[in-house]
Amino acid sequence: MNEDKDKKINNDKGKNKQPPQKPDNKDNNEDDEEKKKRNARALYFCTNKEDNAVAAVELDKDGMVSGRASIWKTGGSGAQGVDWKTKQSAAPDSLFSSSALVVVESLVFVVNSGSHTLSMLSIDKSNPLSLKKVGAPWKLPGEFPNTVTASKKHRMVCVGMTGSKAGIACAPYSPESGIGRMDGNNWREFKLDQKTPPVGPGNTVSQVFFSGDESQLYATVKGRPEEQKKGWFSAYDIKRNETNAWLGDEEHRSAPDGTAELFGSAVIPGSRDVLVADSSFGIAVLGMDDKSKKAYAKHKLPVKDQKATCKAAISPVTKSAWVSDAGRNRLVEVSYQNDDVKVVSEIELSGNGWDGKSGLGDLKAGGEYVYALGAGTGAEVGITIVHAPSKKQVQYADLRGVGAGKSSMGMALWWS
């Protein structure tokens, strides 16, 4: 069986006590932004091993890792890119991306980079540790998929690929029957002159994601300044009729001033602006030009002593952004209110539960918490949980008992 109900997670809540919790006023009609203010019930990530799997981790009513988890095979295989400097398999950050896995409508979409496929699994709403594959993994038109996003509004899933055949492809999906056709008609190519597996992290696709109103699909692509290769931000319109939605043909591409290695991104709620981590200097806030539909740099915020700022998430409670660093074990909080972008706090996590030699990776925010997936240069991997209002770490959970390792990627939260 895929699920092992006896899997246990080593939890260390450290010196900090859990802050008082607010009542869970669940409203079935609440929108997504309101829902995210509640504590999530589970989190998911992919192991990205040769026999790829989704790890399901239960969260208790207080938003903490409960100690229960399960593993579910995707039916595909994971893979690792090649580090540009060492020429060895890359890990941590084995896919050079953000959002290797996404959850929409109680459905988990996950990339299988080794088999060039996309898998879809459904979450049992009465038991979020129970997943079920919906249909077979879908073969993609490109190679080395490393990022995925899905739109509930359009019932559409889109994948970014960054191997020798790089680009974006989209397809309809059905919760009952799975993923629809994702063939050459839905393919938008990026000419990266890459290999399979790709050499990175520079010159690779970073993330695909939808605009706040889901009228456009965005993609960030890292440049490689050492070889004078520029990165860019792409935007595509979503077209639709009464029954179907599809990706528009025209790409609106820009290289916003001062950016070089656009990485993980988060749409700022209530606006069209996008906050993007740029591993070459820190953080950029991009605006979208109404006429050209291209992104432009509104703000550029260098992060002091950063090594590789790479992932971003926005807390619905503090209404601030949080970014992680692949080379440092810290989180940085950024305010973007009133068009004033500035660092408001830095949380050093070294020695506070997570003692890996590397930094932090994928990042998500839900309720009053920020969840960071961290993988060291060895076998160690864990989740660090920070209480966003108090800016304190409240838990560290060692995930090695769930089959996780240094190649683990992606993270998504599920509420109900």
The rounded distance, in Å, linking the Cα atoms of 375 and 361 is 7
Q: Which two tokens stand for residue 224?
A: 């490689």
Say if 132 falls within a structural domain: yes
Domain extent at residue 172: 10-17+30-414
Please give the model's pTM, rounded to 2 decimal places.
0.93
The rounded distance, in Å, linking the Cα atoms of 416 and 412 is 13
Residue 263: which CATH number?
2.130.10.10
Say if 22 falls within a structural domain: no
Q: For residue 124, give every residue at least 6 positions away whose Cβ sits within 8 Å of its Cβ, in sequence order, or none.
A: 130, 131, 132
**What is the pLDDT tens value at each position of the chain, 416 positions in all?**
345 544 667 666 543 444 444 434 444 445 777 888 999 999 999 999 999 999 999 999 999 999 999 999 999 999 999 999 999 999 889 999 999 999 999 999 999 999 999 999 999 999 999 999 999 999 999 999 999 999 999 999 999 999 999 999 999 999 999 999 887 778 999 999 999 999 999 999 999 999 999 999 999 999 999 898 999 999 999 999 998 899 999 999 999 999 999 999 999 999 999 999 999 999 999 999 999 999 999 999 999 999 999 999 999 999 999 999 988 889 999 999 888 999 999 998 865 455 555 688 899 999 999 999 987 655 568 899 999 999 999 999 988 888 788 899 999 999 98
**What one-character DSSP code corresponds to residue 89?**
B
Q: Give how many domains the chain has, as a whole number.
A: 1
Say if 181 falls within a structural domain: yes
Say if 3 falls within a structural domain: no
Say if 1 falls within a structural domain: no
> Residue 221's beta-bridge partner residues?
205, 232
The rounded distance, in Å, linking the Cα atoms of 233 and 126 is 39
The rounded distance, in Å, linking the Cα atoms of 185 and 296 is 29
Say if 194 falls within a structural domain: yes
Kindly give the pairing relationship between strand 82-83 and strand 199-200.
Answer: parallel
The rounded distance, in Å, linking the Cα atoms of 354 and 302 is 26
Which pLDDT value is given to residue 25? 40
Q: Which residues of 320-343 are buried (b: 16+ CB within 10 A; e: fewer)?
A: bbbbbbbebbbbbbbebeeeebeb
The rounded distance, in Å, linking the Cα atoms of 230 and 240 is 32
Say if 146 falls within a structural domain: yes
Say if 23 falls within a structural domain: no
